[in-house]
Structure 1
Amino acid sequence: MSNRPDYLNMKQGHAQDAVAEPVDFQQQSGVISHDGRKVLRNTYALLSMTLIFSGVMAAVSVAFNVPHFGLLTLVGYFALLFLVEKTKNSAMGLVSVFALTGFMGLTLGPIISFYSSLPGGSETIAMAMGTTGLIFMAMSGWVLSTGKDLSGWGKTLMVGILVAFVCSLGAFFFEIPALSLAVSAMFIMLMSGLIAYETSAILHGGETNYISATVTLYVAIYNLFLSLLQILGVMGSDD
């Protein structure tokens, strides 16, 4: 039997009570659903583990003085990203996520070694890490506290990231320092927006797979850290 009130047969007083009863539209529409919060919890748990694992692999890379991966970084990243996409709905997806984040940690080692060798390099790395953490907490905290639906940001972020990626290739091949710094500034803004966008997508049901969500947030954090590291490194070298 349906629990819906019978407006045709109920008495007038009861009908008025039913109409006057307040409705929790947020709960009714499922704007921020229980499932969304569950996916968010799983995402944060997996993200924490992958960041720790990636940090360990970066430390191993530094300890063994692993050389810079160059374009192999992009090849390995896209290959492992494809693997994650294919396995994200199975237990193998967890293995794929750790393979991807572990590989990215290895590629981070030579970069950290380079900045560590510069005057004040350790402070620059620590500042980049701290700023990355603050930005992540600020953007995700903003969405979590306000419940903002940022689904409209998707196309803008996609186009912006594509443009920034193409510009980064140009800066790499043509060795243009000014363009490289501009790209880093673009990535800081874009990755900050991506963190907020993905958090919103999880809460509002736009992203229901915590493995995909983890990879998106990890990539945003990774690029945010590298971009901050480059800009802070240049600023430190001017002192």
Structure 2
Amino acid sequence: MEEYVKARSTAGIRSEEIDAGLRAHMNKVYGTMSVGMVITALAAWSISGLATTTDQSAAAAALPNGTLLTDLGYAIYASPLRWLIMFAPLIFVFGFSAMINRMSAATAQLVFYAFAAVMGLSISSIFLVYTSFSIVQVFLITSIAFAGLSLWGYTTKKDISGWGSFLIMGVIGLIVAMIVNIFLQSPAIMFAISILGVLIFAGLTAYDTQNIKNTYLQHAFAGDQEWLGKAAIMGALNLYLDFINMFMFLLQLFGNRE
């Protein structure tokens, strides 16, 4: 909040302009994130539909739950390619974060939308595992929780920047635990991972929202308009990841399986 006070009192810009700029920036962040969510949902739903069939003669394989897979479905869900698809979003994020300084804001936005489509491919299997009703139900629960946490992060006067290191360490621990559990296949470990995942990404939602706000105020004070556009894309990416991960962990906890 110190940046906010400093910007309003010493920047030479009227407080109304600071407030209007901040609102426009946050609207861009949430708008970009929302478009990304729509792309992910459409990609996941479309791919899951193309990957399955009801024609036994045309099926390339069948999942343990009896779902028949097309050739595309076999490649995505049953062949070794599935490992690349599983980790593709993680690789994409690291690459995007490393290269964004070399991109224009418009290019960064297009790359973000491409990432959202890749994420849709990666999580498309949820339509084969969980009922459509439970997916919608958990999505609504996640939306309400996300909105409340983000609003708190935006409005609170408490400085929660100190949460960052702890939460990032938690994310790294989750990734390691999930990789280990791929081989162990322990339901108990998966249950613990899901609970911790929800808590960690709930905290990150509030933390990232406050960080986006403070980042805007720092760069608005410096007059760095080019970076503000990129900052909005990175902010949208961070909140998008918080939402997606919280949704996936809640789905593992409360989703009804087919």
What TM-score, normalized by structure 1, do the two folds share? 0.77
Change in 2 beyond 3 A, CA 1:29/1:136: farther
Is residue 9 of structure 2 the alignment partner of residue 28 of structure 1?
yes
Give, as a single letter, the amino acid of the residue that structure 2 aligns with 1:210: A
Matches within 5 A, 1:1-239: 25=5, 27-28=8-9, 34=19, 35-65=21-51, 66=73, 67-68=76-77, 70-85=82-97, 86-87=99-100, 89-90=103-104, 91-115=106-130, 121-205=131-215, 208=228, 209-233=231-255, 236=256
Q: CA deviation at 1:36?
A: 4.2
Larger Rg: 1
Following the alignment from structure 1 to structure 2, what is the Cα–Cα distance between the partners of residues 37 and 163?
Answer: 35
The count of corresponding residues between Structure 1 and Structure 2 is 206
The answer to whether the 8 A contact 1:195-1:217 is kept is: yes
The answer to whether the 8 A contact 1:37-1:203 is kept is: no
The answer to whether the 8 A contact 1:36-1:205 is kept is: no
The answer to whether the 8 A contact 1:87-1:96 is kept is: no
Root mean square deviation of aligned Cα? 2.5
Change in 2 beyond 3 A, CA 1:38/1:152: farther
In structure 2, the gaps of 5 or more residues are 12-17, 52-72, 219-227
Following the alignment from structure 1 to structure 2, what is the Cα–Cα distance between the partners of residues 184 and 217?
Answer: 19
In structure 1, the gaps of 5 or more residues are 1-23, 116-120
Q: CA deviation at 1:83?
A: 3.9
Give, as a single letter, the amino acid of the residue that structure 1 aligns with 2:88: G
Following the alignment from structure 2 to structure 1, what is the Cα–Cα distance between the partners of residues 92 and 175?
Answer: 18
Give, as a single letter, the amino acid of the residue that structure 2 aligns with 1:84: F
Q: CA deviation at 1:218?
A: 1.0
The answer to whether the 8 A contact 2:202-2:246 is kept is: yes
Identity %: 24
Could you report, residue by residue, the CA deviation over 1:148-192 in whole angstroms, capped at 9, with x for unpaired residues? 432111111011111111111121121111101110111101111
